[in-house]
Amino acid sequence: MAEAEAAEGQPKKKSAAMMTIIGVAVLTLLGAGGGWVVGGMVSPNVKAAVQEEQAKESKEASAKKEGEGGLPHISTEANNIVQLEPITSNLAYPSENWVRLEVALMFNGPPDVKLAEDIHQDIMAYIRTVSLQQIEGPRGFQYLRDDVQERVDLRAQGRVSKVMFRTFVIE
Q: For residue 154, name the pLDDT band (cuts at 50, 70, 90).
A: very high
> What pLDDT is attached to residue 12?
63
**What value, to the nearest 5°, has the Cα angle with vertex 154 and ends 152 and 158?**
80
Whether 99 and 66 map to the same domain: the answer is no
pLDDT score recorded for residue 68? 46
Same domain, 45 and 14: yes
Q: Are residues 66 and 102 both part of a single domain?
A: no
The rounded Cα 128 to chain-centroid distance in angstroms is: 29
Give me the pLDDT at residue 133, please: 93
Q: How far apart are CA 49 and CA 58, in angstroms?
A: 14
Q: Are residues 89 and 165 in the same domain?
A: yes
Note whether 59 and 81 are same-domain residues.
no
How many C-beta atoms surround the C-beta of residue 45 within 10 A?
Answer: 9
16 pLDDT tier (thresholds 50, 70, 90): confident
pLDDT digits (tens, 9 = 90+) for 36-84: 888 777 776 666 767 777 777 776 666 555 444 444 556 566 688 899 9
Task: Write the burial class of residue 91 (CB in 10 Å: 0-12 exposed, 13-18 middle, 19+ buried).
Answer: buried
* Same domain for 28 and 82: no
CATH of residue 97: 3.30.479.30
What pLDDT was estimated at residue 10? 57
Verify that 104 and 143 share a domain, yes or no: yes
Reply yes or no on whether the pLDDT at 1 is more than 50: no
Can you give the pTM of this predicted structure?
0.56
Cβ-Cβ contacts under 8 Å for 83 (sequence gap 6 or more): 73, 74, 75, 102, 104, 166
Same domain assignment for residues 54 and 83 = no
pLDDT of residue 77: 63
Residues 59 and 113 in one domain: no
Domain of 107 in residue numbering reads as: 77-170
Q: At what angle do helices 113-127 and 137-156 cross, to 10 degrees?
A: 140
Q: Give how many domains the chain has, as a whole number.
A: 2
Q: What is the mean pLDDT of residues 88-117?
A: 91
Under a CB-based contact definition with an 8 Å cutoff, are residues 124 and 89 in contact?
Answer: yes
